[in-house]
Amino acid sequence: MPIYPPRPDPFECAICGKQRPLQWYERSQVDYPPICWGCEQYAYRTGPITRNPDMRLVKQIAALAAALAGEANQKIYQEARHG
């Protein structure tokens, strides 16, 4: 059985911008800053849903990389379109 870290202080998700953590939470689905559980597990699907802390860190890195790549692609498209 994994030992979970203490609940984090409130933070704003780096991807969706929502205030976290919510009042109610499942102990195994605690939001780890800077990304909320939803963005980490569902928005940028990079593997199975997991509660393993090491795999969650990998998924957070992948989610941040995907979000940054999406923003960069939008910026490149806007600059190419509008000069």
Residue 1: alpha-carbon gap to chain centroid:
24
What pLDDT is attached to residue 82?
79
The average confidence (pLDDT) of the chain is: 81
Would the pLDDT of 7 be above 90? no
Length of the chain: 83
d(CA 33, CA 60): 9
Residue-wise pLDDT for 22-58, tens only, equals 666 676 677 888 888 888 887 666 667 777 878 888 8
